[in-house]
Amino acid sequence: MKKYLLAILFLGIYLFSFELQASPLKLGVLAPDGTSWSTSLRQMAKEIEAKTAGRVQFKTYFGGSQGDEGDVLKKIRIGQLHGGFFTGKTVGELSSDVRVIELPFMFGADNKRAMNALDKVEKTLGKGFEKAQLKCLGLYGLGFVYFVSQKKFSDLESLKGMKIWTWDGDKISMTMIDSLNLASVSLALPDVLSALSTGMLSATYAPPMAIVALQWNSKIKYLLDYPLAYAMGAFLIDQKEWNKISLQDQKVFQEIATTTLRKITADNEKENVDALLSMKNMGVEFMRLPEKDLKQVDQIKNKVIGRLKGTFISPQAIQLVEGTK
């Protein structure tokens, strides 16, 4: 009888231990392995696993191996993945107000003001993802977006006739290009490089580090030395998976994720500076807008905001960011 009791006891201990050893959270990331991104995310996973005694673990798929952001989101919906890192376009499909950060010419070239706005938006609008049954662990900055082209331009008027990329379904970029009466070609992100090579596109835009990482810098000759907007992203986890984590471990997870995202934002800023220098050194010509066009920047911003206000982004979200110093 004692043997049976001991067997049941040991079986119970085994099953309890097995229950504590949680299945890893599977994350999809577009950033390639071997980058500062992958280093930061591996460190985050290692630290969270250690501080939760292995109860929270990760398996991260880098380099878009799980597909683009839309594919990652679909896989989260069906349980094949549990979370990922998403840029503004996808974030806007889930909680459009968060994209107030990416409205054109909102911050000029003032990085500090953009950072303050990012912090405000995270604290105030971060819960907007709950309707999509996603937990937002935080927002991160990708940096200022720059316009690059194969053809020389002298002012905004000379951009007319260029075939400018817009990310398929991206309301902000499409609204801005339409407001300027420019021609756009809507493509998925992975198709841009080949489109620049074949002449299907003559111009595009992105943070400098992305321009270099995606090898667009090898296809362009000119860069507009005035940022169009500030780009951001979000770290999202399936709410059902988040709810499986104990409150104590959630607190640890959140604290470490917040620190990691701040580091990623700082690293991105440095990499953008380095990427701009790299493009200049390889012969990309940096073009300045004439004074007459600089005076139109606020008009362009207000025109885009007017078209998106109340339809894509709420007046409250716009007021929140416009009041940032």
Residue 6: pLDDT over 50: no
The pLDDT of residue 13 is 41
Q: What is the pLDDT of residues 174-188, one digit of tens each?
A: 999 998 889 999 998
Q: How confident is the model at residue 3 (pLDDT cuts 50, 70, 90)?
A: very low
Residue 55: how many CB atoms within 10 A of its CB?
Answer: 19
**pLDDT value, residue 31:** 84
Phi, psi (degrees; rounded to nearest 5) at 312? -115, -40
- Region 227-239: mean pLDDT is 96
In this structure, CATH architecture of domain 2-322: 3-Layer(aba) Sandwich (3.40)
Distance of alpha carbon 34 from the chain centroid:
19
Distance CA 41, CA 216 (A): 25
Higher per-residue confidence, 9 vs 268: 268
**Contact yes or no for 227/221 (Cβ under 8 A):** no
Judged against a pLDDT cut of 60, whether residue 27 lies above it is answered with: yes
Give the integer Cα–Cα distance in Å for 31 and 20: 31
Rounded to the nearest integer, the mean pLDDT of the chain is 90
- Contact in structure between 82 and 237 (CB atoms under 8 Å): yes
At 33-70, the pLDDT tens digits run 888 889 999 999 999 999 999 999 999 999 889 988 98
Any idea which of 76-85, 123-132, 268-277 has the lowest mean pLDDT? 123-132
Residue 4's pLDDT is 47
Confidence of residue 215 (pLDDT cuts 50, 70, 90): very high
Residue 272 near residue 207 (C-beta atoms within 8 A): yes
For 248-276, what is the mean pLDDT?
96
For residues 210-219, give the mean pLDDT: 94
Mean pLDDT, range 135-158, rounded to an integer: 95
Q: 3-class SS at 23?
A: coil
Contact 146, 203 (CB under 8 A): no
- Please determine, for residue 139, whether its predicted confidence score (pLDDT) is greater than 60: yes
Average pLDDT over residues 311-323: 92
pLDDT tens per residue, range 90-115: 999 999 999 999 999 999 889 999 99
Is a pLDDT exceeding 60 seen at residue 126? yes
